[in-house]
Amino acid sequence: MSNIMFNGMSRIAISALTLSLTLMLPSLSASAGQTDSYTLPQQGYNQSRARDYKVYIPDNIQSPAPMVMALHGCKQTNNDVLNDWGLKAAADQYGFILVAPYITSYDGLRNENCWGFWFEHHRHQGAGEVEDLHQIALAVESNYAVDSQRRYITGLSSGGAMTVVAAVAHNEYWAAAAPAAGIPYGEDASSVSLTGQCPGNATFHSLSRVVSDMAAEMDDAYPIPLMVLQNENDCTVIKASADLIRDAHLKAFGEASFDTPAEAQAESGACSPYYQNNYGCMRTRYTQDGTSGARSLVETVYLDGPLTTPNSQDTNHGHYWVGGEQGNNGKWAVRTGPSYPDIIWNFFNGHSRNGTAPEGFPVITLIGDNPATIALNTSFVDPGATAEDAEDGSVAVTADCSSVDASTVGTYSCMYTATDSDANVTTAERQVVVMDPNAPTETCEQVTASPSAHISAGRAYAGGSYNLRAYTNGDDVDIGGSFDSWSDVLLHEGNPGQWFASEPAACGSNGGGNGGGNSGGEPFVCQDWNASNLNHNMAGRAYYAGGYYSTGGDDYLGAFPGGNAWVRENPAGVFEKGQCQ
């Protein structure tokens, strides 16, 4: 949602083991399928518009295949979904058709590319954006063989909110839904934190009103399973939103004695798989009778994730999609954390509309860390792996760790193989890193680039007032404006991935710092500009808060964008009203 709007069974049993140890994938190098582009023409109902969308079809897909629709958030496009979210790799692995609509055009006051979940005319069956999405899904079904029992929808932020809308308005169509950083059905714009501050603050309708709005919209009794994914530290869509989605769904579909989280909770366990850091993620299942053997009504995936992200276009408000190892650090998308594509698919795969289990491949879950790290000249003990198959249940796993040489520093592999009764074979890989605990950990690499380039590469992050400053990720030193793409700043790498303005002591001189934004240790030379307030604002020398104020000095420059003022930079990165002396 990225600072949203207003410019502003029979096989249905899921054991506790398969919840806490859901799945682990073999590494996928690149997607091998085909992406087709389409446009849904404007339809005859109210508030319809022409919508572009893309469909990714993996090679050798089974027919009919499941369909997953994924909705981008504000300031994103469907290309971001396809390129950064790790969903194409998941489609390759699991064999589903991936549909990525683009809002294309929109009405009303809202931030760029937001889905209009808060507009009355976009959240009811038969009109607006939610109906356009339904029509896109039907168009995909007319071109590809889609399994009518396995149609799924997910999305981030405003796309997550529209996922909730779709699950309510077209409860008769979708089999399951998974909103990430979503909003409860029927909410207003005030349900999103618009302050730009952390922690965020938002207001919501009462639980009874949300449930009433859902009941008025739904025309099918199907208790659609819902997975709610939420960073507990999200400052744009706060955790209270996820809690309300969960609670309203339980009230709308749960039995009277099992319609609260305490009554309906069946089991809880650590999220899996994840890439590099699980961030304390817990996956919790809620069922209609509170038992672990029943089909999920709601599942929550709550993580204690960080605020800052590597991409300079992000807001560092903990608001993002987690793409896992096959994802990218894109706009409001990160790789590190619980892998949303795999966790969501595991949920979808267990919740077809009629409750039947599809034919498929065994799913291997690695026990323990991946990669695993051991000290030089110590023994490696394989923590092992398990495998589950939709038809066969538990399947034996064979492991081959013969390549691991604990006497030599390096990275090795353990390979795992599982075969089901239909001869479907799945493989998975664990990396084993042998390291010398006595060797220096600093890489001592050096890179010279602009502050903006350092941010894009993850060596620095945007922060300060309105995220206009660039700070090193290792020692939090201000190295210039986050918008500065022309300056040269030298950074030094200590431990892998940690970058410093000054050379780490282990690397030699410890004297290579840049003095807060000037490479080579040169003394700072004052610079000044005589320009319009709007020009100062666009260049990061000023900000607007009911008038224009200098960045750093907070000096009042004037109320009008066309008014001129002198602004000087002294010292580096501090902009004040006036001229250099």
Per-residue pLDDT tens digits for 436-456 = 888 777 788 889 889 989 998
Residue 397 in this model has a pLDDT that exceeds 70:
yes
Residue 524 in this model has a pLDDT that exceeds 70:
no
User: In the prediction, which pLDDT does 98 show?
Assistant: 98
| Cα 279 to Cα 281: distance, rounded to the nearest angstrom | 5
Q: What is the chain's mean pLDDT, rounded?
A: 86
Quote the Cα angle for 197-201-207, to 5°. 160
The DSSP letter of residue 141 is H
Q: What are phi and psi of 151, to 5 degrees?
A: -105, 125
What is 16-349's CATH superfamily?
Answer: Alpha/Beta hydrolase fold, catalytic domain (3.40.50.1820)
Query: In a 3-state reduction of DSSP, which class is residue 417?
Result: strand
- The closest alpha carbon to 323, from 311, 313, 332, belongs to 332
- The closest alpha carbon to 406, from 429, 431, 433, belongs to 433
Tokens standing for 184? 């409860």
**398-to-365, 366, 373 alpha-carbon distances in Å:** 12, 12, 21
| Cα 18 to Cα 270: distance, rounded to the nearest angstrom | 11
Q: What is the pLDDT of residues 102-141, one digit of tens each?
A: 999 999 989 999 999 999 999 999 999 999 999 999 999 9
- The closest alpha carbon to 69, from 97, 99, 45, belongs to 99
Query: In a 3-state reduction of DSSP, which class is residue 412?
Result: strand
Query: Which of 43-52, 210-219, 226-235, 554-563 is the least confident region?
Result: 554-563
The answer to whether the beta carbons of residues 371 and 432 sit under 8 Å apart is: yes
In the chain, where the domains are located: 16-349, 363-435, 446-521, 527-577
| Cα 473 to Cα 447: distance, rounded to the nearest angstrom | 14
Q: What is the CATH number of domain 363-435?
A: 2.60.40.10
Q: Between β-strands 385-389 and 372-375, what pairing exists: parallel, antiparallel or unpaired?
A: unpaired
Provide Rg for the chain, Cα atoms: 26
| Cα 561 to Cα 514: distance, rounded to the nearest angstrom | 34
User: In the prediction, which pLDDT does 517 show?
Assistant: 40
Tokens standing for 251? 């009230």
Residues whose CB is less than 8 angstroms from the CB of residue 315 and which lie 6 or more positions away in sequence, other chains included: 2, 3, 196, 236, 332, 467
Q: What are phi and psi of 166, to 5 degrees?
A: -65, -40
**Exposure of 482 in the CB half-sphere (CA atoms within 13 A):** 26
Residue 13 in this model has a pLDDT that exceeds 60:
no
The answer to whether the beta carbons of residues 150 and 175 sit under 8 Å apart is: yes
User: In the prediction, which pLDDT does 523 show?
Assistant: 62
- Residue 401, class by beta-carbon neighbours within 10 Å (0-12 exposed, 13-18 middle, 19+ buried)? middle
- CA–centroid distance for 336 within its chain: 10
Q: Where are the beta strands (DSSP E) in 420-550?
A: 425-435, 446-449, 460-463, 469-472, 478-481, 489-493, 499-500, 527-532, 542-544, 548-550
